[in-house]
A and B are shown apart, each in its own frame.
Chain A
Amino acid sequence: MLPQGMACCALLPAFVPAPALAGKANDTLVYASDSEAPNISQYHNNVREGVILAHLIWDTLVWRDPRTGDYKPQLASAWKWESPTALVMDLRQGVQFQNGDPFTAEDVAFTFNYAVSSESRVITRQNVDWIKSVDKLGDYKVRINLKQPFPAALEYLAGPLPIYPGAYFRKVGLEGFAKAPIGTGPYKVVSVTPGRGVSMVRNGNYFKDSPQGQPKIGNIKFVVIPDPETRSAQLMTGAIDWIWRVPADQAESLKSTPGITVQSGETMRVGFLVIDAAGNSSPHSPFKDVRVRQAVNHAINRQGIADNLVRGGSKPVYTACFRTQFGCDDKVVVHYDYNPAKAKELLRAAGYANGFDTDLYAYREREFAEAIVGDLHKVGIRARLHYMKHDAMQVEYRGGKAPMTFYAWGSYSINDTSAFTGVYFKGSSDDIVKDPQLRQWLETADTSTDPAVRKTNYAKALALISRQAYLAPMFSYSTYYAHSSALRFQGYPDELPRFHEASWK
Chain B
Amino acid sequence: MLIHILHRLAIALCVAVTVSIVSFLLLHLSGDLATAIAGSEASAAQVEAIRVQLGLDRPMLSQYLDWLGRAVQLDFGRSFYFQADVMQLIAERLPITMKLGSIALLLATVVAIPLGVLAAIYRDTWLDRIALALAVVGQAMPSFWFGLGLILIFSVTLHWLPVAGNERWENFVLPAIALAYYAMPAMMRLTRAGMLEVLGSDYIRTARAKGLAKNKVIFKHALRNAVIPVVALAAVELGFMLGGSVVIESVYSMQGLGQLAWDAISRNDYPVVQAVVLIIAMFYIGLTFLADVINALLDPRIRIR
Do the beta carbons of B163 and A390 come within 8 Å of each other? Answer: no
Q: In whole Å, how far is A289's beta carbon from the nearest beta carbon of chain B?
A: 28
Q: Contacts A233-B152, A389-B30 known; A16 to B160 CB distance under 8 Å?
A: yes
Chain A residues whose C-beta falls within 8 Å of the C-beta of B84 in the assembled complex: 194
Q: Smallest CB-CB separation from B170: which chain A residue? A: A16
B255's partner among A196, A388, A394, A428 (CB-CB below 8 A) is A196
Q: Contacts A230-B151, A388-B31 known; A46 to B39 CB distance under 8 Å?
A: yes
A204 within 8 A of B: no
Q: In whole Å, how far is B99's beta carbon from the nearest beta carbon of chain A?
A: 16
Chain B residues whose C-beta falls within 8 Å of the C-beta of A237 in the assembled complex: 155-156, 159, 162-163
Q: Contacts A47-B39, A390-B36, A390-B40 known; A194 to B160 CB distance under 8 Å?
A: no
Chain B residues whose C-beta falls within 8 Å of the C-beta of A239 in the assembled complex: 162-164
B162-182 contacts to A, CB under 8 A, are: 162-165, 168, 170
Chain A residues whose C-beta falls within 8 Å of the C-beta of B161 in the assembled complex: 12, 16, 19
Q: In whole Å, how far is A149's beta carbon from the nearest beta carbon of chain B?
A: 21
B43 within 8 A of A: yes
B68 within 8 A of A: no
Chain B residues whose C-beta falls within 8 Å of the C-beta of A123 in the assembled complex: 39, 42, 46
Q: A216-255 interface mask toward B, CB cutoff 8 Å, 1 = contact, 0 = none? A: 0000000111110110011011010000000000000000
B197 within 8 A of A: no
Q: Contacts A16-B160, A194-B84, A391-B32 known; A233 to B155 CB distance under 8 Å?
A: yes
Do the beta carbons of A233 and B151 come within 8 Å of each other? Answer: yes
Q: In whole Å, how far is B273's beta carbon from the nearest beta carbon of chain A?
A: 14
Chain B residues whose C-beta falls within 8 Å of the C-beta of A211 in the assembled complex: none
A489 within 8 A of B: no
Chain B residues whose C-beta falls within 8 Å of the C-beta of A194 in the assembled complex: 82, 84, 89
A391's partner among B35, B163, B164, B252 (CB-CB below 8 A) is B35
Q: In whole Å, how far is A324's beta carbon from the nearest beta carbon of chain B?
A: 19
Question: For B92, B160, B163, which residue has the most chain A Cβ atoms within 10 angstroms?
Answer: B163
Q: In whole Å, how far is A226's beta carbon from the nearest beta carbon of chain B?
A: 5
B148's partner among A229, A395, A423 (CB-CB below 8 A) is A229
Do the beta carbons of A46 and B152 come within 8 Å of each other? Answer: no
- How far is B165's CA from A311's CA once the two chains are assembled, in angstroms? 32
A429 within 8 A of B: yes
A306-346 contacts to B, CB under 8 A, are: none
Q: In whole Å, how far is B66's beta carbon from the nearest beta carbon of chain A?
A: 22
Q: Contacts A16-B170, A224-B253, A239-B162 known; A46 to B41 CB distance under 8 Å?
A: yes
B225 within 8 A of A: no
B250 within 8 A of A: yes
Do the beta carbons of A195 and B259 come within 8 Å of each other? Answer: yes
A443 within 8 A of B: no
B52 within 8 A of A: no
B253's partner among A13, A226, A388, A395 (CB-CB below 8 A) is A226
- How far is B33's CA from A394's CA once the two chains are assembled, in angstroms? 11
A356-381 contacts to B, CB under 8 A, are: 363
Residues of chain B touching chain A, judged by Cβ–Cβ distance below 8 Å, are 30-33, 35-36, 39-46, 81-84, 89, 92-93, 148, 151-152, 155-156, 158-165, 168, 170, 250-253, 255, 259-260, 262-263, 268
- 8 closest cross-chain pairs (CB), A and B: A429-B44, A392-B31, A391-B36, A19-B162, A391-B35, A391-B31, A195-B255, A225-B253
- Can you report 16 residue pairs joining A to B where beta carbons are below 8 Å apart? A19-B161, A19-B163, A125-B43, A194-B82, A195-B255, A223-B253, A226-B262, A227-B250, A229-B148, A230-B151, A233-B156, A390-B35, A391-B35, A392-B32, A395-B31, A429-B44
Residues of chain A touching chain B, judged by Cβ–Cβ distance below 8 Å, are 12-13, 16-19, 38-39, 46-47, 123, 125-126, 175, 178, 194-196, 223-227, 229-230, 233-234, 236-237, 239, 363, 388-392, 394-395, 398, 410, 412, 423, 428-430
